[in-house]
Structure 1
Amino acid sequence: MASPKEIIQRRASRVRRQLKAVAGDRPRLSVHRSSKNIYAQVIDDAHGHTIASASTLEVDLKGKLKTGADSEAAALIGKLVAERAVKAGIKEVVFDRGAYIYHGRVKALAEAAREAGLSF
């Protein structure tokens, strides 16, 4: 029987495999959430580098947030990473939710990124 860690890795790789099939040349908006923070980055897989990133661990955000683990923080990170991506010239991405379901903090981040100018 597979361990919980292997099951999560398998789910994330399944999502990523489906994204690569439909992505074309669009970069990937990848989300990682922990119990205390949330992280987002726009990754160019063709060249293997990060175009824009944001997380709740950034110094200028620490004072604004009550906690890094709620939907309000996720929405702020989504808006911030979208603004940085648009500033870098990226408007269309594919959304990589990883092994997480599209609900709660992940959904809040995605909706805030859409409102801030990213298309996916």
Structure 2
Amino acid sequence: MGLSKTQRKLRIRRRIRKVSFGTNDRPRLSVFRSNTGIYVQVIDDIKGTTLFAASSRDKDLASAKGNKTEIAKLVGKTIAEKCKKAGIDKVAFDRGGNLYHGRVKSLAEGAREAGLKF
């Protein structure tokens, strides 16, 4: 019998985390997607700290109108602007076991449009 959806996602997440590692020069951009929102963190894995975070539930984005993919693009632009202010222009993208499609892709495109490189 095959893997369930959650088991498959967990297996993919573990495989991605083997190679995706955040340093001070190139932190990890971690994405979590729930049914209602999307959350992103910029993490330095060496120190074990979260440098920046943004989500669709932030006060400035909670009032934004549009569908989930449009809001995810705004979240990507927001996190990229925070990184650019701190002098970070390169990150390692960690999609967290999600397929690079839909909201995750939209978030990545928004971050790239704002000047972030991965």
The TM-score, its normalising length taken from structure 2, stands at 0.87
Counterpart amino acid of residue 41 in structure 1: Q
* Displacement over 4 Å in runs of 4+: 1-4
Residue type of the alignment partner of 1:95: F
Q: C-alpha separation between the residues in 2 aligned to 1:5 and 1:101?
A: 13
Query: Between the two proteins, what is the percent identity of the paired residues?
Result: 51
Matched, 1:13 2:14: yes
The residue that corresponds to 1:96 in the other structure is: 94
| Per-residue deviation, 1:66 | 4.2
Structure 1: how far apart are the matches of 2:60 and 2:70? 16
Structure 2 residue matching 1:118: 3-state secondary structure: coil
Q: Counterpart of 1:77?
A: 75
How big is the alpha-carbon RMSD for the aligned residues of Structure 1 and Structure 2? 1.8
1:87 corresponds to: 85
Report the count of equivalent residues.
116
Residue ranges of structure 1 left out of the alignment (5+ in a row): none
So what's the TM-score if we normalise by structure 1? 0.86
